[in-house]
Structures are given as structure tokens and as C-alpha cells.
Amino acid sequence: MSGAKTLGRYGALDTLRGLCLLSMIGFHGMYDLVNIFGVPAPWLDDTPGYLWQQSICWTFIALSGFCWSFSHHPLRHGLVLVGCGSAITLITYFIMPSELIQYGVLTLLGLSALLLTGLKRLFDRLHWSIPAPAGLGLSLLLLFLTRNLSRGSLPFDRPIALPDFLYQTDLIAVLGFHSPTFFSVDYFPLLPWFFLYAAGYFLWKLLSRHEKAMERLRPGFAPLSFLGRHSLLIYLLHQPALLGCFLLLGRG
């Protein structure tokens, strides 16, 4: 959900973000109908619903990592996202505790932007550089290796169980280690999801070398691009708007 400029906008990225935003609104609308208003739709909790939800998350996270380099102020951008994520946590805690969101996708995107900013500055100071193909491959490998951390294991033919002490507290839930009592309806810890964000960043580094490839990203579809350019505001407002519409329709 970053949206920044470097020598003009890349309309295709805004269009993709806008399309993903519409898909997210549709998914959350179905989630509200099923889990808040009791409309039966068993497929939402089955494979089709899972794949729909994952397609949205993977696209947003990878696209945000891809667009990190476009931001003039990545540190400020990260802090804004973390602040918005924290506000959502507080609102759901006090108003809708049954739909509590802790370490949701906005918090992930904000922390990932901050972490990548810090790592980039450290590597620049040390004059280190990770080649784009190696960085992309390593990020995807670490994404695969850490994908089951929140479930307590590493994903091999014979899963390797991680130490129990990592899962006795929620103090490091932001990393992916949490107690059995931890609850969040939207949970995206840094591990494994930061590595998907990093994969998006290294994909940008790979493509940015090829001027023709980047030029092909400039055209976009105006209506979707408009949504993509205002994705953070729409993200913050869409759930209250959906709930308000459903309540009005229910009273009609």
C-alpha cells in the first residue's frame, strides 16, 4: 500500500493495487456477512475462501515491497502505517473485541518498510550489496523455511519442532511466536511475511535494470489506478462503510 513517485507514476502498479483493493473489499464484505451477520457461506472457510484471501495478501505485500524504493520518505511512510495499524488494534479492542486485529497487514507493511530502511542504510554504510537475483532467491527461500513458524515448526519432510519457550508468551508475537491464547482475526507477523516484502523489493531491483520492462509498467487503467493511489485511505474506511451499508440494508 505504498504509492510513490520516481520520475512519474507507474500506472500498472496502481492498477494492480486498485484491483487487489476491490478484491479485498469483496472478501471483507463476505467475511462480515458470514461472521457478523450470520449469512451462510461455508465455502468462505474452505479452500476457495482461503485461496481468495491469500491472493489478496500476497499481492499487497509483494507489491508494497516492490514499491518501497519509490518512496521519498520510507521511514515516515513506515511510521504512518504502523500508527494506522495500531489505531485499528485499539479500535477493534474496545469496540469489536470479537474481531480483534493484532499485528495485521498494515502493521506488517509498516514494520517491513522500517526494517528494510534500516537494513538498507546499514548495508550502504558497510558498502555491502546483495545482487538482485541472489536477494530474490534468498528471500523466497527464507519465506518457504519460515512459513510455519507460528505453528511451531520448520517445513521439512519431517517437520522440526521449535523450542516450547518461544510459544509461552505473546511478547514476540510480532515475529511469529505466540502463546496458545493469542487471538487476532488478521495476523501477519514479520516471519515469514517480511521475506515476501523483501522479495518484492529485490524483484524491483531486478526489473529496474531493464528500462523497457519498467516503461511497460507506466500505462494503467485510470479508474483502478485512482483506487490504487488512494489505497491506504480506502483501506481504513472500507470496513466501517461496509458495516454501515449492511446495517442500513438490514433495517430496510
Q: What pLDDT was estimated at residue 207?
A: 95
Q: Is the separation of the CB atoms in 152 and 167 below 8 Å? A: yes
> Residues 81-128: pLDDT tens digits?
999 999 999 999 999 999 999 999 999 999 999 999 999 999 999 999
Are 199 and 138 spatial neighbours (Cβ–Cβ below 8 Å)? no
| DSSP calls for 98-166 | GG--SS-HHHHHHHHHHHHHHHHHHHHHHT----HHHHHHHHHHHHHHTTTGGGTEE-SSS-EEPPGGG
The overall average pLDDT reported for the chain is: 93
Q: Identify the residue with better confidence: 155 or 237.
A: 237
Distance CA 211, CA 217 (A): 10
How confident is the model over 170-202, as pLDDT tens digits?
999 999 999 999 999 999 999 999 999 999 999
- The three three-digit cell numbers of residue 178, written as one number: 505466540
CA-to-CA distance for 180 and 183, rounded, in angstroms?
8
| Mean pLDDT computed over 26-45 | 95
Distances (CA, A) of 225 to 71, 96, 137, 171, 230: 17, 32, 30, 39, 9
Residue 6 has pLDDT above 90, yes or no: no
pLDDT for 3 equals 38
Q: Which pLDDT score, from 0 to 100, does residue 173 have?
A: 97
Tens digit of pLDDT for each residue in 30-39?
999 999 999 9
Tell me what pLDDT residue 157 has: 61
* pLDDT over threshold 70, residue 8: no
pLDDT at residue 156, rounded to an integer: 74
Is the pLDDT assigned to residue 1 strictly greater than 50?
no
